[in-house]
Amino acid sequence: MKPYIRRIGTSDRCSIWLVDGFWVRNNVYIDFVEGGHGYVYPKFIPKNEIWIDQDVRVTERKYVILHEVCERRLMKQGASYSVSHKRANEVETRARRRL
């Protein structure tokens, strides 16, 4: 069994996939939470993919996707995970406050 459920979009020529997070945690990486991409998890997510856990509420998905797209873009440009994650958190927080 593979974790892919369905492709839900694209960004920067990167496919965004809804995946079975339960399967990922049980078979690949126990700490997989909400989402990830190939620059953070190169051992199991291709570089041109973002994975979003299907258990993330539909109303939350746009924020998780925004976070992952931002973080991936910065890492692709050479920024470290810690810098990219912090910046992505700031972008996500601003987006959430604009409700």
Predicted pLDDT of residue 26: 97
pLDDT, residue 99, reads 61
Contact in structure between 39 and 72 (CB atoms under 8 Å): yes
Chain-centroid distance, C-alpha 2: 17
pLDDT tens for the 99 residues of the chain, in order: 689 999 999 998 999 999 999 999 999 999 999 999 999 999 999 999 999 999 999 999 999 999 999 999 999 999 999 999 999 999 999 999 986
pTM score, whole prediction: 0.94
Name which of 28, 29, 27, 48 is nearest 37 in CA terms: 48
* Six-digit token string for 84: 């990219």
* CA distance linking residue 49 with residue 36, whole number of Å: 9
